[in-house]
Amino acid sequence: MILSAAELTINGETNVNSFSCALRKTHINDTLTSSSSNELNTFEGIEISFQVKDFACGMEMMTEDFRELLKVESHPQIIVTIEEIELPENCGKNYSGPVKAKIKLYIANAEREQIIEQASIHQIRQKTIFTGNYEVLMTSFNLVPPSRLFGAVQAKDLIEIQFSIQMKQS
């Protein structure tokens, strides 16, 4: 299997509107091998590093604030590690559907394990795509939700993290 693409999106809200900051890595071409009898477990153990400077939030000022929030100068990467994927019993190698996952997320010098209830694996042509989303508090990563205009615009602590990891047959 070849790790071919990965995407990470962080969605949040302020008391005025919502925001979305995303990064997509394509053409990764890392060859992976698995000792598992089920190719779907090839995702386990994958560690993907995202450069904070490469995130885009749609507006330059928002992107700058986001990078500053994540401490880009001292902690330039967000690292996602897939620890474990829980597949339904007796699913075949062509399984598509919901799964549970345990991941490790490293942001701004803080690491947290997360259980992802809303994850899934999809088989499309010669590709296997693992997706998921979950909510987390910024403060759990020692990040202070930002504010602007002397506190008139305040980001909410709760953010949603979405990810997508794509593999293709080698």
Task: Specify the pTM.
Answer: 0.81
pLDDT value at position 158? 93
Structural domains counted in the chain: 1
Q: Tokens at residue 170, please?
A: 């080698």
pLDDT value at position 34? 40
pLDDT value at position 46? 84
Distances (CA, A) of 146 to 62, 70, 114, 156: 11, 11, 23, 8
Coil, helix or strand at residue 93:
coil
Q: How far is residue 43's CA from residue 31's CA, in Å, rounded to a whole number?
A: 12
- What backbone torsions phi and psi does residue 66 show, to the nearest 5 degrees? -65, -45
pLDDT value at position 29? 54
pLDDT value at position 69? 86
What residues of the chain score a pLDDT lower than 70?
1, 27-41, 151, 170
pLDDT value at position 140? 92
In tens, the pLDDT along 154-170 reads 888 999 999 998 888 76
DSSP structural state of residue 83:
E
pLDDT value at position 11? 93
Q: How far is residue 34's CA from residue 69's CA, in Å, rounded to a whole number?
A: 37
pLDDT value at position 113? 93
Q: How far is residue 77's CA from residue 48's CA, in Å, rounded to a whole number?
A: 10
CATH number of the domain where residue 147 is located: 2.40.128.110
pLDDT value at position 37? 45
pLDDT value at position 101? 92
pLDDT value at position 170? 65
Rounded to 10 degrees, the C-alpha dihedral 56/117/46/24 comes to -20
pLDDT value at position 135? 92
Containing domain of residue 92, as a range? 2-168
Q: How far is residue 39's CA from residue 42's CA, in Å, rounded to a whole number?
A: 5
pLDDT value at position 33? 41
